[in-house]
Chain A
């Protein structure tokens, strides 16, 4: 089996995997990083969103082998010890989650948005979340959380 190496949350990792291994499987099953979720098998829900080389993508729709040599950030890579990342804190403060299943993908997606657009409008946030589905919240508090997280990050 081929060996696939990459940097995940700042650490170099390497594992022997079948070519058909998805990035999300590599993260969850080989590295034990189960914060990245799988909510569908049609590439539509966004529960699996991570950053690869600084851009958000659906880790269920990329082979681990395609991420060879890449720099990957997952939800586990955001907090600083016990201190939540400001975007995570904003979700907690604003009740941006209920069951929490979609939340890691929402947070990772939101961070890609605010990197490109530090002061998004509510409409821009809603449009950006096109690829992130939530079955619980009705999105309202997610949007509120992202706007608050963006504000916190602007400082």
Chain B
């Protein structure tokens, strides 16, 4: 690891001002992505601003027809939340299958979304559930937040403070995990919210998470596992790597979508 300065912010304002005054600062959340990146010397920030002391960025609020999850809420806390379990069980299922128990004890929803790993799970939930990403500056609609692999429309010193998920009528998530890392080789979330059907795919796209409009149309007319499975996805723009070819990923998308519909009921 290269040298850096470390400081722990006491409030959102502290964190943002510490980052703005640093030469090349980075927020540190659970560190489950950032610390491995630093260890490999793939990044050289001058300062790390630790968000773990900011109390109003942690916790899960039941807003009736929505749930708001603080950005610093860990995967384990979403996985163990009764509110999430009763209102959006698909989100609870997703959180409880991220990585391994030690990763879930540290990693946070805000860190996962800010990082937008093309194989991460939460970006699929944000997009399919049409969540709102709340920052210190504004609110992003899900469709406006992600901007390609490992990229978002956040500004340099913009802090995600919470994510608000509307409660869907139905939602389901199915992932085919990479057997070594547990990241999604392909993960699909299907959801019906306020009569709208949304389907998101993670793990497969060269540009990261995306909506599968063909499966959305198929499910809007006929919400069934068969309808999802019947869609033949094109392999255009999908990843090919040592784990799976683009063609195989295309096939997996329809299969995972049908399992997600089954899970949603």
The distance in angstroms between the C-alpha atoms of A63 and B99, with both chains bound, is 20
Q: Are B105 and A43 in contact (CB under 8 A)?
A: no
Q: Are B182 and A130 in contact (CB under 8 A)?
A: yes
Contacts of B35 in A (CB 8 A): 22, 43, 61-63
The distance in angstroms between the C-alpha atoms of A46 and B103, with both chains bound, is 10
Taking a contact as CB atoms closer than 8 A, the residue among A19, A42, A63, A128 that contacts B36 in the complex is: A42
Q: Which of B3-11, B124-132, B146-154, B203-211 contacts A (4 or more CB under 8 A)?
A: B3-11
Q: Are A19 and B50 in contact (CB under 8 A)?
A: no
Q: A41-B36, A62-B31 are in contact. Are A130 and B6 (CB under 8 A)?
A: no
Q: Are A63 and B102 in contact (CB under 8 A)?
A: no
The distance in angstroms between the C-alpha atoms of A49 and B8, with both chains bound, is 24
Q: Are B105 and A57 in contact (CB under 8 A)?
A: yes
The distance in angstroms between the C-alpha atoms of A63 and B8, with both chains bound, is 12
Q: A112-B101, A131-B101 are in contact. Are A61 and B2 (CB under 8 A)?
A: no
Count, chain B residues at interface, CB 8 A? 28
> Is B21 an interface residue when CB atoms closer than 8 A count as contact?
no
Taking a contact as CB atoms closer than 8 A, the residue among A20, A44, A55 that contacts B105 in the complex is: A55
Q: Are B106 and A62 in contact (CB under 8 A)?
A: yes
| B121 CB → nearest A CB, Å | 14
Q: Which residues of chain B from 20 to 41 have a CB within 8 Å of any chain A CB?
A: 28, 31-32, 35-36, 38-40
Q: Are B2 and A131 in contact (CB under 8 A)?
A: no
> Is B240 an interface residue when CB atoms closer than 8 A count as contact?
no
| B37 CB → nearest A CB, Å | 10
- Size range of the chain A interface in the assembly: 20 to 34
Q: A19-B4, A55-B105, A66-B50 are in contact. Are A131 and B100 (CB under 8 A)?
A: yes
The distance in angstroms between the C-alpha atoms of A113 and B105, with both chains bound, is 12
Q: Which residues of chain B from 69 to 120 have a CB within 8 Å of any chain A CB?
A: 99-103, 105-106
| A139 CB → nearest B CB, Å | 14
Q: Which has the most chain A C-beta neighbours within 10 Å: B4, B6, B39, B99?
A: B6
Please give the residue numbers on chain B whose beta carbons come within 8 Å of chain A beta carbons, in ascending order: 1-6, 8, 28, 31-32, 35-36, 38-40, 48, 50, 52, 99-103, 105-106, 180-182
Q: Show 15 A/B contacts (Cβ-Cβ < 8 Å), sorted by A.
A: A2-B6, A18-B3, A20-B3, A20-B4, A41-B36, A41-B39, A43-B32, A44-B180, A46-B102, A49-B102, A66-B28, A113-B101, A130-B101, A130-B182, A131-B100
